[in-house]
Amino acid sequence: MVLVAAVVLVTLGIRHSPAVKTGAAKSGAAQGPTPGGHQITAEAAVRAAAVAWVTGQVGHDIIIACDTVVCSDLAQQGFPAGNLNVLQPTTPDPYGSELVIATADVRSEFGSKLAAVYAPEVIASFGTGTDRIDVRVIAPHGPAAFQAALRADLRTRKSSGAQLLRNHKIHVSATARAQLAAGQVDERLLTIIAFMAAGRPLDVVDFGSAAPGASPSVPLRFADLAVTDPTAHMASRAYERALIALAHSEVAPYVPLSVGTVRLANSRTVLRIEFAAPSPAGLPS
């Protein structure tokens, strides 16, 4: 694999050349879009969605393997070029990276071994058919060791979730209670909620993830907390500021990707604490 920083400018020069536009543009004829043009547009839309998700949701310290076009797009959108590995046709495998962006070209290059051996878990997926792009977690020690680590992490999350459910300072909705009991919540969230509850009572509304098409085993990476709690005996705004300060006082690997208020579909305002993808396995409970 080759670091993308050395090839981004060359790639951009090729991809943004006017020569890639439709034949009508070349000849000057006033023609409608061709079927091929529609295909290019669809592919570009799926790629743009995948790139936007990775740029906004994946930790920028993560090493990503991708084809030349996707790596170039990620670098353009601000993902650190030094953490992007370009997959060449001669690359034997995607090892050495933590995620692989599986476009049609990457799937063709590695065949069935991509999902079965190299990167068995999908943390996000975009598009359908040949246009589909999957963001996959690489199994550095093989699929058997990877699945064993997932099972161990699930047991840890269930245990940590059960501890939170026994914490009398934490009020948990029925939805969040079921998610905790099932071990669906990222260990980083479980840790930060326990830390925050040591200082003041918390009301957990729910857990979730911005992860379209993710495998069922992928943990939920954000928590929605009520922005007021009568048992805290604090004004609503002061209580919210206190929660935000607590969330920002953590150290790695428990530093959130984002902390801020959002409005849910039912018009309720909550404080959302979100961690970056991918969820790390093997954190201490």
Average of per-residue pLDDT values in the chain: 88
Angle at 36 between CA 32 and CA 41, to 5 degrees: 85
> Residue 76's pLDDT is what?
97
* Residue 283: Cβ-neighbour burial (10 angstroms; 0-12, 13-18, 19+): middle
User: For residues 2 and 84, is the Cβ–Cβ distance under 8 A?
Assistant: no
Give the single-character DSSP code of 114. I
- In this prediction, residue 27 has a pLDDT band, given cuts at 50, 70 and 90, of very low
* Residue 8: Cβ-neighbour burial (10 angstroms; 0-12, 13-18, 19+): buried
- Residue 110, pLDDT above cutoff 90: yes
Average pLDDT, integer, range 244-269: 96
**Enclosing H/E stretch for 36:** helix 35-57
**Enclosing H/E stretch for 224:** strand 222-226
> Residue 24's pLDDT is what?
33
| Domain limits, the chain | 2-23+33-140, 144-274
Average pLDDT, integer, range 8-23: 33
User: For residues 178 and 189, is the Cβ–Cβ distance under 8 A?
Assistant: no
- In this prediction, residue 233 has a pLDDT band, given cuts at 50, 70 and 90, of confident
- Closest of 270, 213, 263 to residue 57, by C-alpha: 213
Tens-digit pLDDT profile for residues 147-206: 999 999 999 999 999 999 999 999 999 999 999 999 999 999 999 999 999 988 999 999
Strand, helix or coil at 109? helix
> Residue 38's pLDDT is what?
63
Task: Tokens 């009568």: give the residue.
Answer: 230
User: For residues 84 and 171, is the Cβ–Cβ distance under 8 A?
Assistant: no
Residue 253: cis peptide before it, omega within 30 degrees of 0? yes
Q: For residues 209 and 191, what is the distance between their CA atoms, to the nearest angstrom?
A: 17
> Residue 25's pLDDT is what?
33
